[in-house]
Chains A and B, each alone.
Chain A
């Protein structure tokens, strides 16, 4: 029989675990963390926060976004992601446009990711062994997301090393590269409406999503 007191103790324990994982990952981040360990730590941390946070479970979008902003985003190279998604069109942009593109694309990806996380509450993640030479600066970390009663989904992270840390520059879901998938859309927009047209489309999309909440 679980009394309310026991439930509270259980919650406190969860917070402690989250706290410990957080401390551990912060400590590791200072030394050089191998890319697969980094993905594992961050995923464990994010999952633990979601499982422990009643507000996020209750559908509090703002908290979820804050959590993603704090825990996840530092590990992504949005500049590179945007440049890759733009492909050839990147050369047509001014530095000011580039900055706007990165900001808007980042917002779009965060919103999408938050939506995905809200869908997958009971999942567990399996990690495939990483084949990597010590001198490598570009690797793919392969994971498999398992959900009860559904097909496992392969989610891979393309990661590159800059300086002492690894950052993801693409996410490949079930064989679909997110960055490549945006390239067609972005190039179409730039062809039809120019770079500013694309920026406007992204901004409109982001504010429309924000209003729906």
Chain B
């Protein structure tokens, strides 16, 4: 245990830990425990709820709900566009929020996408990456799932910006957050099925996919090419 703590401290400072079983995953034993916990709690609670939600909610309503939360996420993107100095993207995401919040009936309709204004999809983890920070060790967060040190920090920062936090009434805010989580979980259902079909070891597969995906997002879809070894 002591060794793990020491390793964690070293890894935070250097962004790597030579004693780890995988170069980007020095905390694999701990991560695997949390991964198993997440899998079990998801299977018992979140997944059935998400499946029930898909079952009872008509597709147009689900689309509207997904659009609504997507619109709030676009606010987060806009702030991060600015932080990264991406002017064109910031203007893009700003007009998305403006259009969808007004003509799109508070974000229930995504008319910006229909008009060809694509979603920016930036977050603070990517902003830190754009500022030159490496991902750091891979982390599996309880309930949230795959992450890394950099993106974990990003998650906390983005939560401060996400507009749901400004709802004053606690019960309303909680219901909105619950719906947001169910919607997010429901969105993962198709990809999850696919991953179960594809993966030999779900943990390793997810770790690789997460790291690659984030690396790609930080570089706006054009990551530097890695060697084949």
Contact = CB atoms under 8 A, between A and B. Distances in A.
Do A and B come from the same complex?
yes
A152 B197 contact: no
Given A87-B228, A205-B200, A175 B212 contact: yes
A112 B198 contact: yes
A154 B193 CA distance: 19
Contact of A175 (B59, B197, B213): B213
Given A181-B209, A184-B208, A115 B193 contact: yes
Contacts of A201: 200
Contacts of B118: 152
A28 interface: no
A209 interface: yes
By secondary structure, the A interface counts as helix
Interface residues of A, number: 30
Interface stretch (B91-99, B129-137, B216-224): B216-224
Nearest to B118: A152
B193 A176 contact: no
A117 to B, nearest CB: 10
A142 to B, nearest CB: 9
B84 interface: no
A111, A148, A175 — most chain B CB neighbours (10 Å): A175
Q: Which 5 A-B pairs have the closest CB atoms?
A: A175-B216, A149-B63, A181-B208, A112-B198, A176-B212
Interface of A: 84, 87-88, 108, 111-112, 115-116, 119, 148-152, 154, 174-177, 180-181, 183-185, 188-189, 201-202, 205, 209
Interface of B: 22, 59, 62-63, 66-67, 118-119, 121, 187, 190, 193-194, 197-201, 204-205, 207-209, 212-213, 215-217, 221, 223, 226, 228-229
30 contacts: A87-B229, A88-B229, A115-B193, A115-B197, A116-B194, A149-B59, A149-B62, A149-B63, A149-B67, A150-B66, A150-B187, A152-B118, A175-B213, A175-B216, A175-B217, A175-B221, A175-B223, A176-B208, A176-B212, A176-B213, A176-B216, A180-B208, A180-B226, A181-B205, A184-B22, A185-B199, A185-B201, A185-B208, A201-B200, A205-B200
